[in-house]
Structure 1
């Protein structure tokens, strides 16, 4: 497997639009059911582009990375029958034989769909096909595999492979964009505690009275 090529982002001056860091790799995905670690870590909110080509077989059926035109229940996208036995899945599901992807760790192995416990990981498997362009919904390691034998684990009649070219970019060069500070006068928060009640204004020429509690009408002469 070729090593990932990383393009480092440059340091930007304030106010300069940030550029994304990117990494790319070529991997070969065999038809034997094993998930291939692409060596690429994707970032939620970034971009992921995959181009794939090649041919592989599952028994008498041959397809490319876009999958077979035949729907089949022994399929990683068949979530309806999870927990059934290896030969008990019955829901015909499209995209059998296609290139599929997974982001994270511990992708579901062929044969694992017989256990209900696999469901949270099964939901994360996604269709790649021959051309894939999308923004990842979560961050993690990218894996690729052939979509077949999720229930049966019968991979002995599989052959061939596809090759995938992967490019992944992180948003804002892997960090947060510089956000300019607002200009103008600073805004102070409102005071906390009890509000202050101003003392009444003393009119000239009148006795120097004071009001208890600052409430008009409750005034007394100073003693």
Structure 2
């Protein structure tokens, strides 16, 4: 009855859910494109030029992803303020550390160690992002340690680490591809080729989408 008497409540709730769903889709897509592009560039070609190009793509993607969070939860204004640039830099560094740990340890152990490291670092990054965009007041009295352990940051960090593990495992340990001819015209043929890491990228996007939805829902619908 309270909803019927106050239709504005239903409208605000629907608007928040729509904003959250749109922001989650945008954030997951931006992050997937940036991370996968950087990953492919770095793994397939270890040159200075590709490393710099990949780093640029990763940072721009991190900045955009942070901007999406800002627009959904607060505003896009002052996105380039130093403290907000720091959140994008930390996000960029999270992925670099993830790959370095995986390669340093090597094998299955490296993938597991990298996943755990990424989960911890991303949880910290999500916490920092919430504070930078001034959402710590929703948890009055919480310490920094309590905020880090909050499901709004801990669960998304773990989920994205799981998606990243799938991407890394399909690229390192799976030598599988599927090729089929779509059509042929005289001497020209169009082929469709699907590789294992592409399925890993799709899995990463799906997990990232779920993680961002969880994170934004807990902020927009407290």
TM-score normalized by the length of structure 2: 0.22
Higher RCO structure (Cα 8 Å, ≥6 apart): 1
Task: Identify, as 1 or 2, the structure richer in helix.
Answer: 2
TM-score normalized by the length of structure 1: 0.22
